[in-house]
Amino acid sequence: MADKAYDADAIRRLIERHHAVPNIPYKSNRQRKGCFSPVLYRGRNAIERMFCRLKDFRRIATRYDKLAANFLAAVQIAALISCPSSKYFRQASSLAKGGSGSSVVSV
């Protein structure tokens, strides 16, 4: 998926050669227009916004951690902090309040 700036036949053919379907909105001056899914494009936008939110964390933007495992942990924590509506955040916050999460077994 890409935005209108990448609406070129060469880019579309390259994507198709890799056995994928291009979902790029067509420029207004394009003669032949094919299919385009706005639903898939909205998903692209959500992912792009999430990466933008992650880059607000200096540790992530500058790749402060040397080990991949530490960097992955920092990305996961930043994602939890920046996206409080996710099911993982709700589950973790209910555990912090003393609730028993659905995936945690009390002993």
Q: Each residue of 51-64: pLDDT tens digit?
A: 888 888 888 888 88
Beta carbons of 104 and 95 less than 8 angstroms apart: yes
Tally DSSP H helices, then E strands, for the chain: 5, 0
Would 93 be classed as within a structural domain?
yes
Average pLDDT over residues 33-44: 76
Would 106 be classed as within a structural domain?
no
Would 59 be classed as within a structural domain?
yes
Beta carbons of 88 and 76 less than 8 angstroms apart: no
Would 65 be classed as within a structural domain?
yes
pLDDT value for 69: 92
pTM for this one? 0.50
pLDDT value for 17: 92
Say how many domains are in the chain. Answer: 1
- Tell me the residue range of the domain where 83 lies: 55-101
Residue 8 pLDDT greater than 80, yes or no: no
Would 17 be classed as within a structural domain?
no
Q: How far apart are CA 65 and CA 74, in angstroms?
A: 8
Closest residue by Cα to residue 97 from 105, 89, 107, 87: 89
Average pLDDT over residues 6-21: 82
Would 31 be classed as within a structural domain?
no
The residue ranking higher by pLDDT, 102 or 62, is: 62
Cβ count within 10 A of residue 17? 8
Would 75 be classed as within a structural domain?
yes
Would 49 be classed as within a structural domain?
no
